[in-house]
Amino acid sequence: MIVRGICCLKPGIINLSENIKVYSIIDRYLEHSRIYIFHNGGDEKIYLASADLMKRNLSRRIEVAFPIYNKSLKKVLKKLFEIQFNDNAKARIINEFQDNQYKKDEKHIKVRSQYKTYRYLKEMNN
């Protein structure tokens, strides 16, 4: 999972969330995607949504999530997710201890996902 701020889920708990990784990315711009990618036993499903899955967004508002069927759009959305997942400049690791340490990477190249996303989308339009 990639979240913008807080996350109540505690990853890394045996028999509960040991197969879940959560990163929080807070950077210059407030925009953040609501892309939901489900493996679904090999039949991958991708959805976009209008809101975060928080109680306040689901109990007092009308929100929508919708499936993406177009293969080329799925490819773009997966690339955007990959860019964020590889952020090693602004991403923090949300772990079972909730100490929110910055994600460290052995690579010498910093990946700042907001800037890389901008460049990726700009190149798509050229």
- What's the CATH code of the domain at 77? 3.30.870.10
What integer best gives the mean pLDDT of the chain?
Answer: 88
3-state secondary structure the chain: CEECCCCCCCCCCCCCCCCCCEEEECCCCCCCCCEEEECHHHCCEEEEECCCCCHHHHHCCCCCEEECCCHHHHHHHHHHHHHHHCCCCCEEEECCCCCCEECCCCCCCCCCHHHHHHHHHHHHHC
Higher pLDDT, 81 or 53: 81
Q: What is the pLDDT of residues 57-85, one digit of tens each?
A: 677 778 888 999 999 999 999 999 999 99
Domain count for the chain, please give it.
1
Q: Which domain holds residue 6?
A: 2-125
